[in-house]
Structure 1
Amino acid sequence: MTKEFDVVQLDVHHLRVIRAIADTGSLTRAAIALGITQPAVSAQLKRLENMLGYQLFERRENGVTPTPMGELLLRRTAALLPQLDKLLEDIEQRVCPSGPPEVVRVAAVASALVAHLPSLVTRLWPEVSEAAVVHDDHPERLLSLLAQRRVEVGLVKDYPGHELEVPANVDTAVVAIEPTFVLLPEFHPLAHKEIIDLGELRDEPWVMVSDSSAATFTKYFADTCARHGFSPSVTHQVTSQQVALLVVRAGAAGLAQPICDPRNLGIVSRPLSGDVLLRRHILAWNRDTFVTARQEELTAALIDTYWREALDSPVYAGYLASRGEFGPRPGDG
Structure 2
Amino acid sequence: MTKEFDVVQLDVHHLRVIRAIADTGSLSRAAIALGVTQPAVSAQLKRLENMLGYQLFDRREGSVKPTPMGELLLRRTAALLPQLDKLLEDIEQRVCPSGPPDVVRVAAVASALVAYLPSLVTRLWPEVAEVQVVHDDHPERLLPLLAQRRAELGLVKDYPGYELEIPENVDTAVVVTEPTFVLLPEDHPLAREESIDLRALRDESWVMVSDSSAATFTKYFADACARNGFSPSVTHQVTSQQVALLVVRSGAIGLSQPICDPCDRGIVTRPLRGDVLPRRHILAWNRETFVAGRQEELLAAVVESYWAEARTAPVYAAYLEKRRER
Q: TM-score range by the shorter chain?
A: over 0.9
Partner of 1:91: 91
Query: In 2, Cα distance between the equivalents of 1:265 and 1:28?
Result: 35
Q: Secondary structure at the match of 2:149?
A: coil
- The letter of the residue matching 2:208 is M
C-alpha distance in 2, partners of 1:127/1:86? 27
Does 1:198 pair with 2:195?
A: no
Residue of structure 2 equivalent to 1:305: 305
Quote the Cα distance in structure 2 between the aligned partners of 1:32 and 1:76. 24
Q: What is residue 238 of structure 1 aligned with on the other side?
A: 238
Structure-2 residue corresponding to 1:141: 141
Q: TM-score, normalised by structure 1?
A: 0.95
Q: Give the superposition deviation at 1:265.
A: 4.2
User: Counterparts of 2:83 and 2:108 in 1: how far apart (Å)?
Assistant: 28
The C-alpha deviation readout for 1:229-286, integer Å capped at 9, x for no partner, is: 1111111111111111111111111111001112324211110001110011111000
Aligned residue pairs, count: 326
Summarize deviations over 1:78-129 as a string: whole Å, max 9, x none: 2222222222223322332411111100000011100110111011111111
Equivalent residue, structure 2, for 1:44: 44
Given residue 82 of structure 1, which amino acid in structure 2 is its aligned partner? P
Q: Which residue of 1 aligns with 2:291?
A: 291
Q: Given the alignment of the two structures, is residue 210 of structure 1 paired with residue 210 of structure 2, yes or no?
A: yes
Q: Write the letter of the residue equivalent to 2:183.
A: L
What is the distance in 2 between the residues matched to 1:98 and 1:154? Answer: 19
Give the corresponding residue for 1:19. 19
**Corresponding residue number in structure 1 for 2:72:** 72
In the superposition, the TM-score normalised over structure 2's length comes to 0.97
Equivalent-residue separation in structure 2 for 1:119 and 1:38 (angstroms): 26
Instruction: Give % identity.
Output: 84
- Partners of 1:217 and 1:102 lie apart in 2 by 36
Q: Deviations over 1:14-73 (max 9, x none)?
A: 111111111111111101111111122112112111211122122222322222221221
2:247 is paired with a residue of what secondary structure?
helix
Say which SS state the counterpart of residue 189 (structure 2) adopts. Answer: coil
- Cα distance between partner residues in 1 of 2:97 and 2:83: 23
C-alpha distance in 1, partners of 2:238/2:113?
A: 24
CA distance in 2 between counterparts of 1:223 and 1:262 reads 26
Corresponding residue number in structure 1 for 2:262: 262
How do residues 264-283 of structure 1 correspond to structure 2 at under 5 angstroms?
A: 264-283=264-283
Any idea what SS the aligned residue of 1:87 has?
A: helix
Q: Does 1:5 align with 2:5?
A: yes
How far the C-alpha of 1:228 sits from its partner, in A, is 0.8
**What does residue 119 of structure 2 align with?**
119
Distance in 1 (alpha carbons) for counterparts of 2:211 and 2:89 = 33
Q: Deviations over 1:144-175 (max 9, x none)?
A: 10000000000011111111111111111111
Helix, strand or coil for the counterpart of 1:106?
strand
Moved more, 95-104 or 118-127: 95-104
Separation (CA, whole Å) in 2 of partners of 1:202 and 1:134 = 38
The match for 1:33 is 33
Q: Within 5 Å, give how 1:100-111 maps onto structure 2.
A: 100-111=100-111
